[in-house]
């Protein structure tokens, strides 16, 4: 999808280029369907199936309804956290303040519900808006000052963490018992948190596959210069991506507070590694322009199954980060090898086409 803007700029005018980019075509729809069934996604699905089979054979309780409910609820949080990172990666940036945005959102939620005695119908939207504003501020600093997203989000991570500690004093906020319903309850054995995640991932996949806005985000990450020549306001796309990142992080924080039954300021402290790990395992391109909702979902499942497997085999918890780091590195290596061999295959196909063309003369 990222190559579409390059094709568009071959038209006679910028207006025509924008028209071509913004008009969904049958070919684009076919490519979208193909991406859902790509070798990368199929490989992730098979990995989930293999890991599940191994764990089921090693543990009699793995397939129990209780274990499935716990795993699915945790996968939901992993996916939402990863989406917060992936939407920035897709435009060629990153967000190191994902966890900090989650923590500041939690503090705002706690202030509204404990100190302000506001109902959830008011407190939750305010908390989500706070997360969006934090992400939007990141985007403004990146686009207006032309500073690399790594520097901006690293700096803002400490700013948000300092604010959350200063405002809360490090103490958790008590939330009404009724607020725990969404985070702890389930429907026919399926956690409400998981159902919300499925809805979010479906909407996100639709946005990138079938909307002009999503295609422009992909074009910005795939080739920012070509996208700019095609008439796309790339700064606006980067700003929008960071706002979405804040929304996903704040949603994860609100649901996490509902699961715990309290608004803990330290929420989000371990999210950074999760956001990169699940997004990268799910096939999100580190250089931008590539994202798969199904892939991120499978990445979250793989990440959770591996963590659960380490518990089952009673692995030393002190080495858990080493396993996670090795998993991320493996995903990056596989992605890089696929990219290298894919480019080599394209060159071979191009050379064969040129040979056939010369032979026909």
Instruction: Check the CA dihedral 324-330-334-336 and report its sign.
Output: positive
DSSP H helices in 37-64: 39-58
For residues 153-175, average pLDDT: 91
Q: What is the pLDDT of residue 306?
A: 86
Residue 5 covered by a domain: no
* Cα within 13 Å of Cα(360), Cβ side: 6
136-152 pLDDT, tens digit per residue, is 999 999 999 999 999 99
Whether the model clears a pTM of 0.85, i.e. scores above it, the answer is no
Per-residue CA distances from 346 to 77, 119, 196, 293, 342 (Å): 38, 57, 40, 26, 6
State yes or no: pLDDT of 342 exceeds 70.
Answer: no
pLDDT at 357 over 90: no
Q: How confident is the model at residue 353 (pLDDT cuts 50, 70, 90)?
A: low
Q: Is residue 224 part of a domain?
A: yes
Mean pLDDT score across all residues of the chain: 83
Residue 313 forms part of a structural domain: no
Count other C-beta atoms under 10 Å from residue 14's C-beta. Answer: 13
For residue 44, tell me if it sits in a domain.
no
Model pLDDT, residue 311: 78
Give 47's contacts (C-beta < 8 A, 6+ positions apart): 298, 302
Q: Tell me whether residue 128 is in a domain.
A: yes
Q: What is the pLDDT of residue 286?
A: 82
pLDDT in tens, 50-105: 888 988 888 788 888 888 899 999 999 999 999 999 999 999 999 999 999 999 99
Domain count for the chain, please give it: 1
Q: Cα–Cα distances in Å, from 338 out to 28, 94, 189, 335?
A: 22, 22, 38, 5
> 309 falls in which pLDDT band (50, 70, 90)?
confident
Q: For residue 85, what are the domain limits?
A: 77-301
| Helix (H/G/I), strand (E/B), else coil: 29 | helix
Q: Is residue 176 part of a domain?
A: yes
Query: What is the pLDDT, as a whole number, of residue 20?
Result: 42
Q: What angle do CA 288, 304, 319 make, to 5 degrees?
A: 95
Region of poorest pLDDT, from 89-98, 113-122, 178-187, 303-312:
303-312
Q: Identify whether the C-beta of residue 241 lies closer than 8 Å to the C-beta of residue 139.
A: yes
Question: Could you tell me if residue 7 is inside a domain?
Answer: no
Residue 348: exposed, middle, or buried by beta-carbon count in 10 A (0-12, 13-18, 19+)? Answer: exposed
Residue 139 lies in a domain: yes
């Amino acid at each position: 999808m990222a190559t579409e803007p390059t094709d568009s700029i071959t038209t006679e005018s910028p207006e025509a280029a924008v028209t071509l980019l913004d008009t969904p075509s049958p070919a684009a729809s076919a490519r979208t369907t193909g991406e859902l069934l790509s070798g990368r996604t199929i490989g992730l699905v098979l990995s989930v199936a293999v890991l599940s089979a191994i764990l089921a054979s090693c543990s009699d309780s793995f397939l129990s309804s209780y274990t499935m409910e716990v795993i699915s609820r945790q996968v939901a949080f992993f996916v939402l956290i990863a989406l917060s990172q992936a939407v920035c990666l897709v435009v060629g940036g990153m967000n190191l303040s994902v966890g900090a945005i989650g923590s500041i959102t939690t503090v705002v939620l706690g202030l509204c519900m404990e100190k302000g005695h506001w109902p959830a119908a008011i407190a939750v939207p305010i908390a989500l808006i706070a997360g969006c504003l934090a992400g939007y501020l990141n985007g403004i600093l990146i686009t207006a000052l032309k500073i690399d997203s790594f520097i901006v989000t690293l700096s803002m991570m400490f700013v948000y963490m300092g604010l959350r500690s200063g405002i809360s004093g490090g103490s958790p906020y008590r939330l009404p018992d009724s607020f725990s319903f969404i985070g702890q309850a389930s429907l026919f054995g399926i956690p409400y948190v998981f159902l919300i995640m499925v809805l979010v991932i479906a909407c996100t996949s639709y946005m990138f596959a079938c909307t002009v806005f999503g295609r422009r985000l992909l074009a910005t990450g795939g080739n920012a210069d070509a996208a700019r020549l095609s008439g796309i306001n790339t700064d606006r796309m980067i700003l929008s991506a960071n706002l979405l990142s804040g929304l996903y992080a704040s949603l994860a924080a609100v649901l996490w507070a509902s699961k715990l039954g309290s608004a803990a300021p330290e929420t989000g402290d371990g999210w950074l590694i999760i956001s990169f790990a699940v997004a990268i395992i799910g096939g999100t391109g580190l250089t931008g322009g590539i994202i798969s909702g199904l892939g991120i979902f499978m990445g979250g499942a793989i990440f959770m199954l591996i963590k659960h497997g380490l518990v089952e085999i009673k692995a030393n918890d002190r080495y858990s980060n080493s396993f996670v780091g090795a998993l991320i590195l493996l995903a990056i290596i596989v992605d890089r090898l696929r990219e290298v061999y894919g480019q080599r295959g394209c060159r071979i196909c191009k050379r064969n086409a040129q040979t056939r063309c010369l032979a026909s003369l």
